[in-house]
C-alpha cells in the first residue's frame, strides 16, 4: 500500500534515499544528450568548420554568461525585470483563464457564446497582437504584460474548459444524489476533476508566456531591461555570444519554472490520485 504512510522511520529513510538516487539518474539521462551536442558543437567550432565569431562555441557562451554576471550583474537585472513582467502577466492569464474556462465548461449558454470566439482567437499568434498593442497601450510594460497575458490565457481557458466538459457525468450524479448543492459540486467535483487538464493548461501557458515575453520585449522600444531586450540590443554590436547567452537563459528559465512549480503541484495532486501516470 504505497499511499498508507509508513510508520517506521528506517523505511522512510531508505525510501528517501531511493528517491534521491532516482532523481540523480533522471538528471543524468536528461543531461547526457545535451552534453553530447555541446561536445560535438565545441569540436565543430574548434576545427573551424564554422566561424567562432558568428557561431560561438559552448565554452565561449559560458564565458559570456559569466562576464554578464560579474562584476556588474547585467544578466540578473535583465532576468529580474523579465520575470516581474512574466509573473504578473502569467498570473493574470492563469487566474482569468481558469475562471473563464470553468464558466464555459459548466454553462451551455456560455459555451455557445464563447467557444466560437475562442477557436478564432486561439489561432492568432500572440506576437501578432504586439504591433496593435504598441499603438493602443504604448511601448512600455503594459504592452509586454498584456502580451504575456494573452499568451497564457488561451491555453488555460481551452484546457480548463475541456477538463470540465470531460468529467464523467456519474461523478456529478453521485454527488447530487448525496445532496450536494451547486457550490459543493463546483468545488468538490468540477475543480478537482478538471485539475489534470488545468495543470496541462498552466504548463503550456508557461511556455507560451515566455515566448510572448521575449517577443514583446524585442518589439517594445520603451524599455531598457529584459532578456528579450538584451538579445535584441546585442544585434547592434553583432554580439552573437550575448544572443546565445540570452537563448540559454530563456530555455533554462522555462524548464526551471516547469520543474520547480508545476511538477510538485502535479506530484501532490493528480499523480497521488492516480489520475496521471507517475514519471
Partner 1 sequence: MKKVKVRAIDVNKTFGSGKNKVTAISDLNLEVKENEFTVLVGPSGCGKSTFLYLVAGFEKPTSGKILLDGESITKPGPDRGFVFQEFALYPWRTVLGNVMFGLEIGGTPKATAREKAMHYIKMVGLEGFENAYPHTLSGGMKQRVGIARAIAYDPEVLLMDEPFGSLDAQTRKVMQGELMKIWEEMRKTVIFVTHSVIEATYLADRIIVMTARPGKVKGIIDVDLPRPRDYTGKKYLEIRKKALDLLEEEVTKSLKIHPKTN
Chosen residue from 132, 173, 187, 267 binding partner 1 by CB under 8 A: 173
Q: Which is nearer to partner 1, 69 or 184 (CB)?
A: 184
Chosen residue from 30, 135, 168, 235 binding partner 1 by CB under 8 A: 168
Binding status of residue 272 toward partner 1 by CB under 8 A: yes
Positive or negative torsion for Cα 96, 99, 102, 105: negative
Please write down the long-range contacts of 239-247, taking CB distance under 8 Å and 24 or more positions apart. 240/53, 240/54, 240/55, 240/56, 241/56, 241/60, 241/61, 241/63, 241/64, 242/64, 242/68, 244/56, 244/61, 244/64, 245/61, 245/64, 245/65, 245/68, 245/75
71 cis-preceded (ω within 30 degrees of 0) = yes
Binding status of residue 67 toward partner 1 by CB under 8 A: no
**In the window 2-41, what residues touch partner 1 (CB under 8 A)?**
2-5
CB of 186 to partner 1, least distance (A): 13
Binding status of residue 273 toward partner 1 by CB under 8 A: yes
Binding status of residue 279 toward partner 1 by CB under 8 A: no
Chosen residue from 92, 103, 184, 239 binding partner 1 by CB under 8 A: 184
Chosen residue from 47, 170, 236, 237 binding partner 1 by CB under 8 A: 170
Number of alpha carbons in the 13 Å side-chain half-sphere of residue 170: 0
Chosen residue from 42, 84, 142, 176 binding partner 1 by CB under 8 A: 176
- List, in order, residues 6 or more apart from 6 with CB less than 8 Å away: 12, 15
Binding status of residue 274 toward partner 1 by CB under 8 A: yes
Which residues of this chain interact with partner 1, rule CB under 8 A? 1-5, 168, 170-171, 173-180, 184, 188-189, 192-193, 195, 269-270, 272-275
Amino acid at each position: 500500500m504505497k499511499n498508507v504512510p509508513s510508520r517506521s522511520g528506517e523505511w522512510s529513510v531508505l525510501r528517501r534515499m531511493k528517491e534521491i538516487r532516482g532523481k540523480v539518474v533522471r538528471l543524468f539521462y536528461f543531461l547526457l544528450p545535451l552534453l553530447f551536442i555541446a561536445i560535438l558543437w565545441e569540436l565543430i567550432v574548434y576545427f573551424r568548420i564554422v566561424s567562432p565569431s558568428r557561431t560561438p562555441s559552448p565554452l565561449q557562451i559560458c564565458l559570456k554568461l559569466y562576464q554578464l554576471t560579474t562584476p556588474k550583474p547585467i544578466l540578473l537585472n535583465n532576468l529580474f525585470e523579465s520575470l516581474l513582467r512574466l509573473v504578473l502577466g502569467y498570473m493574470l492569464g492563469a487566474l482569468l483563464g481558469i475562471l473563464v474556462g470553468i464558466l464555459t465548461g459548466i454553462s451551455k449558454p456560455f459555451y455557445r457564446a464563447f467557444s466560437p470566439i475562442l477557436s478564432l482567437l486561439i489561432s492568432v499568434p500572440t506576437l501578432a497582437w504586439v504591433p496593435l498593442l504598441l499603438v493602443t497601450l504604448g511601448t512600455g510594460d503594459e504592452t509586454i504584460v498584456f502580451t504575456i497575458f494573452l499568451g497564457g490565457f488561451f491555453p488555460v481557458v481551452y484546457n480548463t474548459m475541456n477538463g470540465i466538459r470531460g468529467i464523467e457525468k456519474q461523478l456529478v450524479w453521485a454527488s447530487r444524489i448525496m445532496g450536494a448543492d451547486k457550490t459543493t459540486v463546483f468545488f468538490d467535483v468540477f475543480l478537482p476533476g478538471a485539475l489534470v487538464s488545468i495543470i496541462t493548461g498552466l504548463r503550456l501557458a508557461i511556455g507560451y508566456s515566455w515566448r510572448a515575453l521575449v517577443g514583446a520585449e524585442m518589439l517594445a522600444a520603451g524599455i531598457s531591461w529584459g532578456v528579450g531586450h538584451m538579445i535584441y540590443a546585442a544585434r547592434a554590436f553583432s554580439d552573437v555570444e550575448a544572443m546565445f547567452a540570452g537563448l540559454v537563459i530563456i530555455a533554462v528559465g522555462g524548464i526551471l519554472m516547469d520543474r520547480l512549480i508545476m511538477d510538485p503541484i502535479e506530484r501532490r495532486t493528480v499523480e497521488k490520485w492516480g489520475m496521471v501516470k507517475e514519471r
